[in-house]
Structure 1
Amino acid sequence: MDVRSERNSVPLAVDLDGTLIATDLLWETLFLLIRQQPHCVFLLPIWLLKGKAHFKCKIAERVNFEPSSLPYRTELLTRLQVQKGEGREIVLATASPRKLAEAIAAYLGVFDRVLCTDPHCNMASQTKRQALVDLYGDGGFDYAGNSRADIRVFDAARNSIVVAPDKAASRWHGTHGGELIEGPKVGLKVIAKMLRVHQWLKNALIFVPIILAHQYTNIPVLVEGMLAFIAFSAVASSIYILNDLFDLALDRAHSTKKNRPFASGALSIPFGLACMAVLLGIGALVAAFLPPLFGGVMLLYLVATTVYSITVKRMLLGDVLTLAGLYTLRILAGCAATGISVSFWLLTFSMFFFLSLALVKRFVELRSSEVSVGERVAGRGYRCEDQDIVAQAGMASAFSAALVLALYIQSDVTDEMYRYPWLIWPLGPIVLYITMRIWILARRDEMHDDPIVFIIRDWRSQAVAAFGAVLLLIAGL
């Protein structure tokens, strides 16, 4: 008997979570359920009291699940397809509920049998081992798995394939041997991508009240601003993680977002949740050194962004108005951290300016979407025929921001705050240049999907913004 015939003489049983797919279906469906049916969050404790198997099955019953969106491990899947073609029996042995397991088996078309969880039996660890031994005998099958829960099954298998192992499975492999298929290495670049470090620059809005109040040489005030920046950045990153977990299926269907750490399976959902807890702890700890009002503003930001991630981001216009409000909230956070009073002019300008940029983001999504007339863009409340009205509203918001700025410059407030108020008149044309250029590039399909990131990277926008900052500085001398 040749090597191939000997290998194919016994079935190959394959675990699903973490092995065939680079994710965990329980966590995936849990976030999918909360996104699709938020009220079910109150039912989760009741389901869990009846056991983990019942918990999994109740979640699976209520979600609309698409197996084609999952991040499959291509090396293992290709092997299964080849061996299936050679006549080997392939078994899906998973702790996932029957509804999900059979949907995946039907989609892939490589499995001859499915062993899975039902409401009364969680097909994991010893239960899975016993089911396979009852079918094929001790040592009568090969097994591919990845975690501590698979070790007992490895012990009963003829040969083991350890795929992207956790620490326990890695130690088992080091002691017992077997084939190893390593997972992708996680470096600092992936962690930074998860945290969206580049988005922290948005939190520089915290320093706007300090600059406008000419307190940029006041060291204690600058320290307070820096602490607020750190706290807000930590909390913002935790919300970015949460947003990614709620949008896994949508991100995987997107041309670029599919490469995000959680959508691609580079990072696990439990790891993301642990990072969220650490980031929220950092935010709370740093906020403790600032006035209580700042903690209140940060808590409001946390609640608002969480609600945005779960529901509001799919609401027509409610999403962009919320985004503009969240940018403005950063300015309020700077005021709360430093005790500098907030200006009505500043808040009004901020709402119009950032509303325009939020509408740019939606406009770009509409331009790049491939939905038919009458259909909504996935995960949004917009249709492709909304492009014109979104663009008109965005341009109107940009001009409104410039108008508010012009009225502010002409007000009595500027005479009190600036020695040479006429020097800040060019700020109006500067705002119009930045926003109108963004809209023109968006129309040309040359705009990054996040206009804030575009401004940060675009040297022309940086140059005119720096020129405006110099004028503002000189006017206040």
Structure 2
Amino acid sequence: MASSSTLYVDLDGSLIATDLLHESLLSLVRVEPLAFLHLPRWLMQGKAALKRELASRAEIDVTTLPYRPEVLKFVQDARADGRRVVLATASDSGLALKVAEHLDIFDGVLASDGEHNLGGARKLEAMQVDAAGKDFSYLGDRPVDLAVWRGAESAVVVSRSDGLARRAASVTRLDAHIKPAAVSLKRYLYALRVHQWLKNVLVFLPLMPVLHALDWRVVFHAGVAFFAFGLMASSIYVLNDLLDLSSDRRHKRKRFRPFASGEISVPTGLWMCAGLCSASLLLSLLLLPPMFMGVLLIYLVLTTTYSFYLKRRAIVDVFSLAGLYTVRVAAGAAATGLPLSFWILSFSLFIFLSLALAKRYVELSGTPAEVYQMTQDRNYHPVDLPLVLCAGVAAGQMSALVLSLYLNDQQMLARYSNPALLWILIPVFLFWIMRIWLKAVRGALHDDPVVFAARDWVSRLALVIGAAALWAAG
């Protein structure tokens, strides 16, 4: 490697494990959804003009971008060897300059300027002019960079593809092949939040009054509804993660999520979102009653509205979350044709409002940085903590009261041969909800109470006792 040659470093996909154009588009959708309608007009003015418009509106924190540590080390080693290093990117110069200023490892920046898009052959021309006829190396990550490597003295390839490295080596000297780690299936499943499918067990709740007289059709339809809701919920989780990239990267745990860390690309995430949503709707259309499709579409509209707007409105957000849980119960009734009990709806509203408030309480009790992020993203403030605590505990107690009244309903009692045994559910449930809040106050609760309950042995024991009481009462 010639120590005197300039090293030009690509940004998108090379220095960072994401693409600033994709991130700018997501930021626009999140901050100014209606501005998305201007995209065709901006694109007609040229790709460089589009990037300039997006960069001027994007809220991208360059300090939290997923920089590739192995590429940073390569660049730092090049500088230590006395080489001139220049950031050369097709991204808009406004964002590129912020990246360069943050890293402070580049001697110059070549980027799109609103009139000229610095990609492919145009990037090569800009580097040749900047190098003033001298040899240079180029670090890139995709096949389009072959046009640049043909005019370079040597190539540094950042890609998992051995084929791309071979193609680069066929047009110039290959100095290095930096291979980012492959994404495991486990990480894709985590992005889908498969563990959150536990929440969809709520579709089986309408079956509780008829446990003693179930038939296979009811169970089958409830099972299909479970999977349909799981697929739809996963698509929304992916969308949420894409919209929350910036805030997730500032969170001590969420920054390791597959999209925030750059392990899974934005385009892949969008395809995942569309595919999961389509699969859910198709499954519902083919195997479930039309009423279920209606409830599923209501869930889709409500949860999408939550993602774009409602989750940034204090109090409105927790009622929205409670409503999303309750919709799952309504979906179970729609799928099975069973009547939707007023008692069950009332119980669902109170218990899920309590759990949603517990989630907010945990987030609002975090580090100063997390509390600041809550203020920015959720419009909650530190002074709201006592209100959230009181409202959450009160909602939990109200859910226990509704459950006790439901177990005393004459129609409910008539379905069981030993209804007195059902009262075991009351102290067990009261103990469980109080323990959830005790954990929250002590800072020992996962920020999602439902996930905590799934992993907590005491919660599992309470569930077993409750199921045993229902079986013995029948």
Q: 1:118 to 1:208 in 2, by over 3 A?
A: same
TM superposition shift of 1:282: 1.2
In structure 2, the partner of 1:159 is: 154
User: Secondary structure in 2 aligned to 1:446?
Assistant: coil
258-267 or 112-121, larger mean C-alpha shift: 112-121
In structure 1, the partner of 2:116 is: 121
User: Secondary structure in 2 aligned to 1:449?
Assistant: coil
Query: What one-letter code is carried by the residue in structure 2 that aligns with 1:232?
Result: F
Q: Does 1:37 align with 2:32?
A: yes
TM superposition shift of 1:392: 0.5
In structure 2, the partner of 1:11 is: 6
TM superposition shift of 1:82: 3.2
TM superposition shift of 1:254: 0.9
2: distance between equivalents of 1:245 and 1:303?
Answer: 18
User: Secondary structure in 1 aligned to 2:207?
Assistant: helix
How many equivalent residue pairs? 471
In structure 1, the partner of 2:200 is: 203
User: Secondary structure in 2 aligned to 1:23?
Assistant: coil
In structure 2, the partner of 1:268 is: 265
1:272-301 per-position Cα deviation (integer Å, ceiling 9, x unaligned): 111112211211221112111111111111
Query: What one-letter code is carried by the residue in structure 1 that aligns with 2:96?
Result: A
TM superposition shift of 1:31: 1.1
Contact 1:142-1:160 at 8 Å conserved across structures: yes
Alignment of 1:318-467 (within 5 A): 318-371=316-369, 377-467=375-465
Q: 1:220 to 1:137 in 2, by over 3 A?
A: farther
Contact 1:139-1:157 at 8 Å conserved across structures: no
User: Secondary structure in 2 aligned to 1:162?
Assistant: strand
1: distance between equivalents of 2:350 and 2:279?
Answer: 32
When normalised by structure 1's length, the TM-score is: 0.94
TM superposition shift of 1:133: 2.2
TM superposition shift of 1:304: 1.3
1: distance between equivalents of 2:44 and 2:164?
Answer: 29
Query: What one-letter code is carried by the residue in structure 2 that aligns with 1:100?
Result: L
1: distance between equivalents of 2:78 and 2:375?
Answer: 40
2: distance between equivalents of 1:399 and 1:180?
Answer: 60
2: distance between equivalents of 1:255 and 1:335?
Answer: 40
Q: 1:236 aligns with which of 223, 233, 238?
A: 233
TM superposition shift of 1:256: 0.9
Could you list the runs of 5+ residues in structure 2 that have no partner in the other structure? none
Contact 1:215-1:221 at 8 Å conserved across structures: no
2: distance between equivalents of 1:408 and 1:216?
Answer: 19
Could you list the runs of 5+ residues in structure 1 that have no partner in the other structure? 1-5
In structure 2, the partner of 1:284 is: 281
2: distance between equivalents of 1:306 and 1:383?
Answer: 25
1: distance between equivalents of 2:144 and 2:255?
Answer: 29
TM superposition shift of 1:371: 4.9
2: distance between equivalents of 1:271 and 1:292?
Answer: 31
Contact 1:374-1:385 at 8 Å conserved across structures: no
2: distance between equivalents of 1:216 and 1:142?
Answer: 74
User: Secondary structure in 2 aligned to 1:43?
Assistant: helix
2: distance between equivalents of 1:197 and 1:43?
Answer: 36
Q: 1:193 aligns with which of 154, 170, 190?
A: 190
RMSD over aligned Cα, in angstroms? 2.0
Contact 2:149-2:168 at 8 Å conserved across structures: no
User: Secondary structure in 2 aligned to 1:273?
Assistant: helix
Contact 2:159-2:180 at 8 Å conserved across structures: yes
TM superposition shift of 1:162: 0.4
